[in-house]
Amino acid sequence: MSVHDVARRLPAVPALRDLCRAMAAVEAVLAPGDPYRRHGFGALGTPGREVAGMDNGAGDSYTIVFSAAGAIALGFDHESPLSPYAGDGTVWPGVLDTVPEAFRPFVDDDGPDAPEVTVCLWRQAGDDRWHRGDVRFGPTDGADPDGANHLFSLLVDGRPEGFRDWAEEYYEQPVPGGGPHRRRVAPVRVPAAMWESLATSKAG
């Protein structure tokens, strides 16, 4: 599954934002004070902008910026053949070329090095689907050439229980229910229904 498939299956922006907030909140409860938590969520600094992030500590990461313009997701798989480090040091053709002007500040880089990105998706306010660039893969690039499946699988799944199952395995402890646990992670403000679904019985 590549960016082409993820673009068809990623949740709409409001649902994705809620899921990202819930994931970050759960990890804040399971591993308070741990600087190596996998998922995070917070304000970007500019009013009206928020950012969700994932970093697996092994060189793979994503950043999703939410704003009035919509949302843009940037991912980097360090083992992808699309990595700037695997080629001539530039971003793979098509990954960022057609990013809309509203999201250009998040992808343009005036530094000497190319941005660390192998996959990019965006959805502007009012759009009915996610978009991606005209990215072409080679016949030997594998089933997940840009790392989109590896990076965004929990978000594509979209089910709170999907993340809960991952978190319980990763942290080797159950995801707690609501009540004081939700209050401890304010101001993340995870919707109550989302939190409770994370803590309920496993999907069959």
At 12-40, the pLDDT tens digits run 999 999 889 888 888 888 888 888 889 99
pLDDT in tens, 44-92: 878 889 999 999 989 999 999 999 999 999 999 999 999 989 888 889 9
pLDDT band at 99 (very low <50, low <70, confident <90, very high): very high
The better pLDDT of the pair 80, 178 is held by 80
Residue where the block lists tokens 């599954």: 1
d(CA 1, CA 47): 35
State residue 145's pLDDT score.
86
Q: H or E segment at 121? A: strand 119-124
With CA atoms as reference, report the closest residue to 40 among 74, 70, 64: 64
Q: What is the mean pLDDT of residues 116-121?
A: 93
Copy the structure tokens of residue 46.
């500019």
Q: Cα Rg for the chain, rounded, in angstroms?
A: 17
With CA atoms as reference, report the closest residue to 89 among 122, 69, 114: 114
Is the pLDDT score of 121 beyond 90?
A: yes
